[in-house]
Structure 1
């Protein structure tokens, strides 16, 4: 038999390419890899991670770069490496198995499978040497190899039972989302001192904040707004936010938002950009606008790819050390600034050794008295930081996360009068439309890199998030191709992702895995089904289609159980339910008026169907919408029943109030 070789060098995933030089004979996820396992009669070792994952790097350095470990793996296993961001379907299945078997999950995820892809042993990070009660990776491998040889029937039985239990996890969902009760439950879990929900580690609760803002807008709840304001202020003023260049880290390891896990994800920053924009639209708070604009600039300057899309993430590590690019010692600040400025910044930004080796993340607990001085020293420190090694960037373009960024940038571009944001969103949408989308079948591919489309098919979140981005962009420019693209994507959702009334995360004509995943949880990013509910609701507002309206309500009902029991994990679903509870608005602007458009986006609740275009634009909401005395005019409607058109921005603002 030929010696196995590492096959990751031809991958388009930056994470897989990081492992292309390992002595482990890695395969990509494929039927051929499982066929090899059947032929050799050996188990499969499945390793799942992502490029910005700190502990993935640690396990790679300790074990996958070790020749002796690699030789043992190659002899006794078929080794498959998966990028969880490229194949969320595979990740979802085996993460469910890992949590079910061990009570916890995380990455790197290490799962051992039969050649039929059934999991029989699951874990996460295994150290090279045994410590703290953890077996070493080599001990795990040897134990499993011995069990495979001597207890094969038991292993096969475990694998079959796990798959059966995964298939039984789904229970029929239904019912209404109890919005007032959800807000009350969130209040009981709210941290009244530092904001956020629960204890450390704290993740930015973007979707919950979105729900609370929409809830405040509908009900006037001051408690809902208070939770948003305190959380947004604490996050933006802590070390989790990059005070020099904008952009949020993935989470805070402490409960005070001081020390982050330094990786920066596209989806986090897109969602938070949208939250801070909405916060400003409701209250006019200057901090909200500053953070929104800085986060939009972070997307445009640090995550844009040459092809016009947005890269997935920036690594936490540089030169093998987490956060090294972002933290400062007092001595480094004195080296970069005049002494009086350095002393001022050290006090202002709380440089007291909050991280490691006497270094600190920069915080900005209050706005400086001298704003011009802060901007000057901020620019100097930012320039000095460029001499450091820049974090690695995962430059693959993910359709779903670009869809989130498109929506957030378009809204921010209109609300703040920043056309460059809309230009960036348009470029990203063009890349997804021309590179990821098959125009004949409306099949969407999930990823691309360097303008080359990946092999993974889109999952539900890709279709729904990109469709929502297209509809938001259409509302601004009236370009019918974005409406048609979104409608084709959502028609395919209804054809391929819904069966017997249930929404699934993978298409009916996609690769058949051991279990068809469906997860309504809004976790680090919105679930596919809650994104579908919002996109379908928006499409129903533009078309008046009962079919799309019913499909949106059906999608939303999938989240009812979790929303009513644990609203922290159903934030996007609750936000969409708020829009529907308010009686969703439609706004048609006949003609082109930047002023009317800005009022519509700023003063109308998030989730409103908005379209601006020439009279006669071929979308039902624009039927019969004409200019008024040869001037652009806005029509505010509910269920296509409209108030008198208004050409003046103040009159539109009054109608929306």
Structure 2
């Protein structure tokens, strides 16, 4: 329906007739008349458009770079070159489409795709959707130029904006992007996080009167209500964003808070049998949601690469085991969004395989394959992605997450091996530099000379007293690197040779 809140009109058995996001009272009256007219004309019979194809009836396709190019074409065709974003109004963040455009620029050098990201970020940072008094982004813009926001602030949106601003700063080195990222962090630290115990809150309500005031005037007013429930997928997403920010900003307190939040998230919302529960409001609730398993698994991979601690990688693998056992369609490929209850009302009794959540799942599986070398992960990622080859075009530029997952599957990663004790300052220096660089296909391994001796020897690396980095794309690797400042130019040289010839 386009976002949250959702207004949806359903048939008695749960089929969607139509709807949208927030519908104002005057518009709602006409919408209700239109829905009634449609229902009377159809005599209660669903149109073919309302029929849902069973997952197994959708043919399986082949994966190719054309998928990525077609989604990029949709992004370019729908881009608003004046105000940024896509289409006319209302305008939602759609940060994943900007991330794909940035990836394309990084490997091709085509500045038109960089412009898609910079025009949008330059506009939104100065517009009404960014709170210049207290930091943080509002939910979306009701008009084309981003000047009139819907005033709710959500953890999910701010996590995604934070990552995008960090990435564009990494690419351009323009300080303004970094300042906006800092503003987001300041807002989240102050309003949407439990700084004492760890974890992030869900959202802060819309209040047009409050947000229309200056910061000093707001201090005299009652602030909008904050939803302090701990939502698993949003906590995982924000933790990943904080991990990235800690390296880009050189602020390890952000990394420490992200790790504390992930530990607490597991304490509150995780069991060995069911994996992650969806939210915590005094007790953990709603198990077996695909979105929670895959977002948390991805955050655990991020934590592993940020620390070298294998406990995070183990949790990631365990969560994918739960998701596979409970939600994976081993016969036809792809994951269901939840455990199907045949007795549920309407379409809730029907199996569904959402494109966005399956895209994240496949991306995590591909990443685990590169981190562990287990071929089964790669095969499962392929089976998942192939399931959506025939249907992704109907999503247009909203299939950007899928295209990025296909990109990760089809291309060799930029692997950075760091051979050295994780506690050594030199190892930490190499690790920080590896994270400071924008590299969307990056995979980082910290190999302990004692615990990982066999792996180090198998890779043909020497074990010395001085921590050493090796940068590889496929089978092409650099000479040993001991100075952190050498990582970026060596990686850039390899990318130029392999992708920008």
Deviation at 1:382, TM superposition (A): 2.4
Distance 1:621 1:244 in 2: 51
Distance 1:236 1:97 in 2: 44
Deviation at 1:458, TM superposition (A): 3.5
Distance 2:486 2:103 in 1: 23
Distance 1:552 1:265 in 2: 30
**Backbone CA RMSD of aligned residues:** 3.5
* 1:497/1:619 CA distance change after superposition, 3 Å: farther
* 1:604/1:248 CA distance change after superposition, 3 Å: closer
**What do residues 119-170 of structure 1 show as CA deviations (whole Å, max 9, x unaligned)?**
xxxxx8989x995474699xx9xxx9xx9xxxxxx98xx69x9999335476
- Return the match for 1:648 from 483, 491, 497: 483
Deviation at 1:550, TM superposition (A): 2.0
The 5 A counterparts of 1:260-275 are 260-275=149-164
- Normalised to the residue count of structure 1, the TM-score between the two structures is 0.65
Secondary structure of 1:103's aligned partner: strand
**What do residues 481-525 of structure 1 show as CA deviations (whole Å, max 9, x unaligned)?**
1111001011222222221233233344878641112221xxxxx
**What do residues 9-38 of structure 1 show as CA deviations (whole Å, max 9, x unaligned)?**
xxxxxxxxxxxxxxxxxxxxxxxxxxxxxx
Q: Which residue of the partner structure matches residue 113 of structure 1?
A: none
Q: Which residue of the partner structure matches residue 497 of structure 2?
A: none
- Return the match for 1:602 from 427, 430, 436: 436
- Return the match for 2:465 from 618, 630, 642: 630
Equivalenced residues, count: 472
The 5 A counterparts of 1:216-255 are 216-255=105-144
Q: Which residue of the partner structure matches residue 332 of structure 2?
A: 501
Deviation at 1:582, TM superposition (A): 4.0
The 5 A counterparts of 1:256-335 are 256-305=145-194, 307-317=197-207, 323-328=208-213
Secondary structure of 1:610's aligned partner: strand
- Return the match for 2:372 from 535, 543, 546: 543
**What do residues 73-127 of structure 1 show as CA deviations (whole Å, max 9, x unaligned)?**
xxxxxxxxxxxxxxxxxx9x969976x55233446xxxxxxxxxxxxxxxx8989
Conserved? CA contact 2:58–2:387, under 8 Å: no
Distance 1:96 1:279 in 2: 47
* 1:133/1:429 CA distance change after superposition, 3 Å: closer
- Return the match for 2:51 from 129, 146, 165: 165
Conserved? CA contact 1:271–1:408, under 8 Å: yes
Q: Which residue of the partner structure matches residue 586 of structure 1?
A: 415
Q: Which residue of the partner structure matches residue 471 of structure 1?
A: 301
Conserved? CA contact 1:463–1:489, under 8 Å: yes
Conserved? CA contact 2:95–2:164, under 8 Å: yes
Deviation at 1:577, TM superposition (A): 2.7
Deviation at 1:578, TM superposition (A): 3.0
* 1:655/1:466 CA distance change after superposition, 3 Å: same
Distance 1:95 1:602 in 2: 51
Conserved? CA contact 1:537–1:552, under 8 Å: yes
* 1:633/1:191 CA distance change after superposition, 3 Å: same
Q: Which has the larger radius of gyration?
A: 1
Conserved? CA contact 1:218–1:582, under 8 Å: no
The 5 A counterparts of 1:135-174 are 165-166=51-52, 168=54, 171-174=58-61
- Return the match for 2:281 from 449, 453, 469: 449
Distance 1:632 1:609 in 2: 18
Q: Which residue of the partner structure matches residue 448 of structure 2?
A: 614
* 1:382/1:95 CA distance change after superposition, 3 Å: farther
Distance 2:241 2:73 in 1: 28
Distance 2:48 2:134 in 1: 46
Secondary structure of 1:560's aligned partner: coil
* 1:655/1:449 CA distance change after superposition, 3 Å: same
**What do residues 225-278 of structure 1 show as CA deviations (whole Å, max 9, x unaligned)?**
011100111111101011122111111001001010111111111111111111
* 1:96/1:399 CA distance change after superposition, 3 Å: farther
- Please say which of residues 254-263 and 543-552 is displaced more in the overlay: 543-552
In structure 2, runs of 5+ residues without a counterpart are 493-501
* 1:95/1:296 CA distance change after superposition, 3 Å: farther
Secondary structure of 1:294's aligned partner: helix
Secondary structure of 2:469's aligned partner: strand
**What do residues 553-580 of structure 1 show as CA deviations (whole Å, max 9, x unaligned)?**
3323344345445432112122233334
Deviation at 1:615, TM superposition (A): 2.6
Secondary structure of 2:321's aligned partner: helix
Secondary structure of 1:217's aligned partner: helix
Conserved? CA contact 1:588–1:621, under 8 Å: no
The 5 A counterparts of 1:115-134 are 131-132=29-30, 134=32
Conserved? CA contact 2:334–2:385, under 8 Å: no
Deviation at 1:614, TM superposition (A): 2.9
* 1:636/1:303 CA distance change after superposition, 3 Å: same
Deviation at 1:619, TM superposition (A): 11
- Return the match for 1:519 from 332, 349, 354: 354
* 1:133/1:273 CA distance change after superposition, 3 Å: closer
Distance 2:222 2:109 in 1: 48
